[in-house]
Amino acid sequence: MCETCGCGDPELMPVEVHESLLSENDRAAGHNREHFAGQEVLAVNLMGSPGSGKTAVLEATAAALDGSGRLSALSGDLATDHDADRLQKAGIPSLSITTGSACHLDAQLVHRALHDLEWKESDLLFIENVGNLVCPAIYDLGQAVNVVALAVTEGEDKPLKYPVMFRKADLVLITKVDLLPHLPQVDMKAIEDALSHTMPESAFIPVSAVTGEGIDRWLEWLEELRRHHGE
Amino acid sequence: MHEYSIVQALIDRVQKEADAHGAEAVNGIRVRIGELSGVEIDLLRSAYDLFSEKSVCEGAELEIVPVPARWTCRGCGAQIRAGEILCCSVCSQPASLAEGDEIILERIEMEVA
């Protein structure tokens, strides 16, 4: 009740909260991160547009490792299990997370899926996010690093158009570089320039899942990360 | 359209605070949304208008404070202007985002009996 005059009107009360609206997700992500650290598994959140070549890069990764690295994968997809099936065929134990209409994975979805995937014995767990350059960037999943796949066919200014995504990237894989001879208008320098305007520590590797170009550098990057991460 | 998930989290949080304080109604809510948070203010507002109906937030005014991205040098703290390469021109250290990625529920104004 209003105490000033006792009129019976309700009192207005300001309540200061100052809390992130993602705090629930961030708590779940912290929990996932503890799981990954406990099992010494390096979790990689792989993001990118639909058709940027995320699944193909993982297939090429498995082929290049040829059984010498232990991999597992979660694959976010709106409606199908196709990506997880492809990864499974490539020799990566995989599970699909069907998100329905949701445009991104979140930490709780990943946590639930971890119960059904044999990931604990792997060195690397790839979390292939839903193909989307906006929403997945916002949700921490508990990963060690964010990797973004950007195909040479997507346009050189993609990083400038989606700064939120590229700011979060620890590494950008510039995919489908085998197509460059057919794309005289695509200027790799322009892509690099766009990345340097959106990533504070611009890091990228041009790769081709078809020819295998750059996959060795990608594997070295992962290996280097694993060494540092374990320290 | 993650703005719907964000609004759902907002309403849940407001409900929790309203319960904790025995509120009879919620009059206003203030959030801070960073330019690089990935949240579109217009979409957030339409999601709020839709989802606040029949919730604790029904009728409560949503004030959105936009926060521009502000980059500074990790080494010397110099400001790095928008649209520039995210690397310090003075000491060549990478930039870090000082503010502009927040999605913060700042304050709720409620009526208590």
Q: Which residues face A44 on adjacent strands?
A: A126, A145
Domains and CATH numbers, chain B: 3-68+99-112 (3.30.2320.50)
* Residue recorded with tokens 């003075």: B90
**What is the pLDDT, as a whole number, of residue A230?**
63
Is A106 in CB contact (< 8 Å) with chain B? yes
CA B110, B112, B113: angle at the middle one, nearest 5? 155
Tell me how long chain A is: 231
With a cut of 70, list the residues of chain B below it in pLDDT: none
Tens-place pLDDT, residues A24-65: 999 999 999 999 999 999 999 999 999 999 999 999 999 999
Is B96 in CB contact (< 8 Å) with chain A? yes
**What is the pLDDT, as a whole number, of residue A71?**
96
Predicted confidence band at A100 (pLDDT cuts at 50, 70, 90)?
A: confident
**What is the pLDDT, as a whole number, of residue B69?**
95
Average pLDDT value over all residues in chain A: 93
**Which residue type occupies A52?**
S
Residue A107: alpha-carbon gap to chain centroid? 12
Would the CB atoms of B87 and A200 count as touching at under 8 Å? yes
Element (DSSP H or E) covering residue B66: strand B61-67
Identify which of B111, B88, B75 has the alpha carbon closest to the alpha carbon of residue A8: B111
d(CA A37, CA A30): 10
Which residues does A193 contact at the CB level (< 8 Å), separation at least 6?
Answer: none
- Helices A82-89 and A54-65: crossing angle in degrees, nearest 10, is 10
The CB density around residue A123, as the number of other CB atoms within 10 Å, is 17
A6: nearest CA partner in chain B: B113
What is the least distance, in Å, from the CA of A58 to any CA of chain B?
26
d(CA B57, CA B18): 10
Identify which of A15, A157, A167 has the alpha carbon closest to the alpha carbon of residue B21: A15
Question: Where does A25-230 sit in CATH, by number?
Answer: 3.40.50.300
Q: Which of A18, A24, A164 sits opposite B9 (nearest CB)?
A: A24
Tens-place pLDDT, residues B79-96: 998 889 999 988 999 999
**What is the pLDDT, as a whole number, of residue A8?**
66
User: Which range among A4-8, A10-14, B11-15 shows the weakest confidence by mean pLDDT?
Assistant: A4-8
ipTM of this model?
0.91
Q: Which of B85, B102, B110 sits opposite A196 (nearest CB)?
A: B85
Is B8 in CB contact (< 8 Å) with chain A? no
Would the CB atoms of A13 and B95 count as touching at under 8 Å? no
Largest separation between any pair of C-alpha atoms in chain B: 58
Would the CB atoms of A138 and B17 count as touching at under 8 Å? no
Is A130 in CB contact (< 8 Å) with chain B? no
Contacts of B101 in chain A (CB under 8 A): 167
**What is the pLDDT, as a whole number, of residue A2?**
54
Q: Which of A12, A15, A165 sits opposite B17 (nearest CB)?
A: A15
Identify which of A91, A99, A97, A102 has the alpha carbon closest to the alpha carbon of residue A64: A91
Element (DSSP H or E) covering residue B26: strand B23-34
Residue boundaries of the structural domains of chain A: 25-230
Identify which of A44, A31, A32 has the alpha carbon closest to the alpha carbon of residue A226: A44
Would the CB atoms of B38 and A197 count as touching at under 8 Å? no
Q: Which of A14, A24, A138 sits opposite B2 (nearest CB)?
A: A138
Local structure of B10: helix, strand or coil: helix
Predicted confidence band at A5 (pLDDT cuts at 50, 70, 90)?
A: low
Is B25 in CB contact (< 8 Å) with chain A? yes
Mean pLDDT of A148-165: 96
B9-18 per-residue burial string, b: 16 or more CB within 10 A, e: under 16? bbbebbeebb
